[in-house]
Structure 1
Amino acid sequence: MFTRALILFTLLVLPAHAQMPVNVVWTIQDEWPPYVIDSGNKKGLAHDIISEAFAVQGYQIKNTIKPWSRALREVMTQRFDIALTVWKSSERLVFLSFSDPYLTNSLVFVTLKGNSFDYSGLSSLNDKRIGVLRGYAYDDSFLQAENFDRMESDSLATNVRKLKAKRIDALIADKIFFRWYIKTNQMDINDFEFVAQPLAVNPLHIAISRDHPKREEILSAFNAGLKALQQSGRIAELIEQYQ
């Protein structure tokens, strides 16, 4: 009788997360609409794909929104299991393991309407001031080039203000993200121009610390669930919802 009472008492006082299913993946990410959204009914395109891929394999994700540099650090130190939207880079491969890609980002140069700006390789950026985001994994050759200035900011909003004030010649942004930002901030997309040739086309992955004890289990579950979504056509359906 005493044993039963003790078990019941223990269940009642355990913290809520201790009573959750075993197959919970703790995820972290900054807000990056429309891929990850921190308000309203929609959670974001990347969030939905990842959540459904894990669900196919019996896992549930619990996401926390934090600034990007902190989010990546929390995954590297295993305070969280995975980051949701990560590009591969030589620097990150030292600390992180990556899933199969689930989306592709097109990084483009954005200028003010009517500005004379063309991109045909890094040599075409001579003496240009390019707005970039701090902590993002741009191509190594882009980061090492010395013939132009990389002007770092913590947000796209700051880079847009710099562009309008002509403090930079162009900014670099994911094309879908930029369109979403302009639309949701009631700005006119016709005030801007997309340069035809992208800087890069980057596959998007989830990432987990190389030292995580369940690294292989979590990545295998996600990859299997992702394959099922791709074969069913569900990925295309989710993309359509965020157009």
Structure 2
Amino acid sequence: MAEERTITLIADSWCPFNCTNHPTGRGILVEKAAAALGHEGYEIEYTEMPWSRAITEVRTGRYDGIVGTGPSETPDFHYPPEPLASAHHSVFTLPNKTWEYQGLKSLKDVRIGVIQDYSYGGLYEDYIKGNQDNESRVVVLRGDRALDRLVEMLRLGRIDVLVAEKRVVQYHFQSRGQDNPLRYAGLVNEEPLYVAFSPAIPDGAELAEALGRGLAKMNR
């Protein structure tokens, strides 16, 4: 029964969308999912680990669901009918640069920094996948604090362009009491964000349906 079921959700830290250290809860997506699933009688527990590992842990059923994913990243997972938010995958440079994003061809002029197994709204399939073994084009980081490390690589000139979600970058600096020192160089993709559920658990499809019902109740 739903009232006896605690749903385990997992993701990497991606404030303000999902994070354990958010000042007003666990981030936009986690709190919205918790409220929606609460309407259906469920409780949630939220845990963080690096993104690539989180995908594997949910895919094998060790955790019930993943926060902040999309069908291009986890096509085999169970999804609710509607997303919970939208991501604006953007590019940033140091403030003294003039490069602007002008489509995929413009990326060939720079070295970009990205996080492993992020889809970036399709940029992975369209560009990163074909260039990830060429470090003169793409630098891929994995593990903890990947965004912190990419920001530092940008500062040191080891990459030319940081690819990241716009609000995540803004929060990264605001949470440290800083103004964002990076220069916005364009929007790459906009992408719907979901909480999706494991294909390896018996009630994965039902949990996705329950989340959808809860979201519909909240939107009335």
1:29 and 1:124 map into 2 onto residues whose CA distance is 31
Match of 1:119 in 2: 101
- TM-score (ref. length: structure 2): 0.87
Structure 2 residue 58 is the aligned partner of structure 1 residue 68: no
Q: Looking at CA atoms only, which structure, 1 or 2, has the larger radius of gyration?
A: 1
Quote how far apart the aligned CAs of 1:41 are. Answer: 5.0
Structure 1 unaligned blocks of 5 or more: 1-19, 232-243
Kindly provide the CA deviation profile for residues 70-126 of structure 1, in whole angstroms up to 9, marking residues without a partner as x: 22111101011111211221x621x32222211000000011113011111101122
Separation of aligned partners in 2, 1:114 and 1:43: 35
Divergent runs of 4+, >6 A? none
Sequence identity, in percent? Answer: 27
Query: RMSD over aligned Cα, in angstroms?
Result: 1.9
Pair 1:97-2:78 in alignment: yes
Q: Distance in 2 between matches of 1:144 and 1:83?
A: 22
TM-score of the superposition, structure 1-length normalised? 0.79
Does structure 2 conserve the Cα–Cα contact (< 8 Å) formed by 1:122 and 1:145?
Answer: no
For residues 68 and 129 of structure 2, the distance between their equivalents in structure 1, rounded to whole angstroms, comes to 24
Aligned 8 A contact 2:92 2:184 in 1: yes
**Number of aligned pairs?**
208
Give 1:44 shift. 1.0
Counterpart of 1:213, as a letter, is P
Residue 160 of structure 2 is aligned to residue 172 of structure 1: no
Structure having greater relative contact order (Cα 8 Å, sep ≥ 6): 2
- Unpaired runs of 5+ residues, structure 2, are none
Structure (1 or 2) with the greater helix fraction? 1
The aligned residue for residue 84 of structure 1 is 67
Q: Aligned with 1:48: secondary structure?
A: helix
Q: CA offsets per residue over residues 150-182 of structure 1, 9 Å max, x none?
A: 111231111111111111111011111100001
The CA deviation string for residues 214-233 of structure 1, in whole angstroms up to 9 with x for no partner, is: 022101100011122223xx
CA distance, structure 2, for counterparts of residue 27 and residue 113 of structure 1: 37
User: SS where residue 97 of structure 1 aligns?
Assistant: coil
In structure 1, C-alpha distance between the alignment counterparts of 2:130 and 2:96, rounded to whole Å: 27
Match of 2:197 in 1: 208
Counterpart contact for 1:103–1:205, Cα < 8 Å: yes
| Residue 149 (structure 1) aligned with residue 131 (structure 2) | no
Equivalent position amino acid for 1:195 in 2? A
User: Is residue 78–residue 205 contact of structure 2 (8 Å, CA) maintained in 1?
Assistant: no
Counterpart secondary structure, 2:202: coil
Partner of 1:238: none
Q: Take 1:101 and 1:75, find their aligned partners in 2: how far apart are those partners? A: 19
Task: Indicate yes or no: 2:168 matched with 1:187.
Answer: no
Superposition map of 1:224-239 within 5 A = 224-231=213-220
Q: Separation in 2 of the partners of 1:29 and 1:214?
A: 20
